[in-house]
Amino acid sequence: SYGGGALLFYTFSSQAERRKFGGSDFLEIQFCRMPPKTEVGIITAVDSVNHWFDDSLYVRGDDGVAFLREYDSIFDCGIYNDLETGKIDPYGINYYRSDLIEPIITKLLVTRPADHIKLAGWLDTAKGYNGFYILGV
């Protein structure tokens, strides 16, 4: 469902709907479907990541600057493809372990960035997975 205003996060019922709305210019926030004991190097490998899941959250490329401004300090613990850790890399793979989800939700509820309620609900669902990714454009 998508609209305007303070909405940063979009969901789509199909990939056709996503393509019609904005092509492929999105950051994708996606559940990590790898088994829990998977090595981080495998989880963050380019070949391990698939794109465009219907249960992902999407940030339009045009909203990327606003997203980074609002969320960089919250998502400051991602693991990159080179296994370094830091703030969101808007062009790469950012992996967040499942044990980071609750602290991230807490930060969201305290700082209340744009559209945080939708993200907090999605992250609550992510607890059932092996963490999540923020995949760059």
Question: Tokens representing 87?
Answer: 């703030």
Residue 8 in tokens: 């940063």
- Please give the structure tokens belonging to residue 111: 């700082």
pLDDT for res 1: 37
Burial annotation 29-57 (CB, 10 A radius, 16+ → b, else e): bbbbebeeeeeeeebbeeebbeeeeeebb
Mean pLDDT of 101-120: 96
Q: SS3 for 42?
A: helix
Mean pLDDT (whole number) for 7-35: 91
pTM: 0.92
Separation between Cα atoms, residue 72 and residue 56, nearest integer Å:
19
pLDDT of residue 4: 43
Segment 103-125 mean pLDDT: 96
pLDDT digits (tens, 9 = 90+) for 46-69: 999 999 999 999 999 889 999 999
Provide the residue type at 2 as one letter: Y
Percent of the chain whose pLDDT exceeds 90: 83
pLDDT of residue 15: 87
| Alpha-carbon distances, residue 116 vs 2, 53, 123 (angstroms) | 15, 21, 10
Q: What's residue 6's pLDDT? A: 64
The per-residue pLDDT for 7 is 87
Q: Which two tokens stand for residue 102?
A: 């609750």
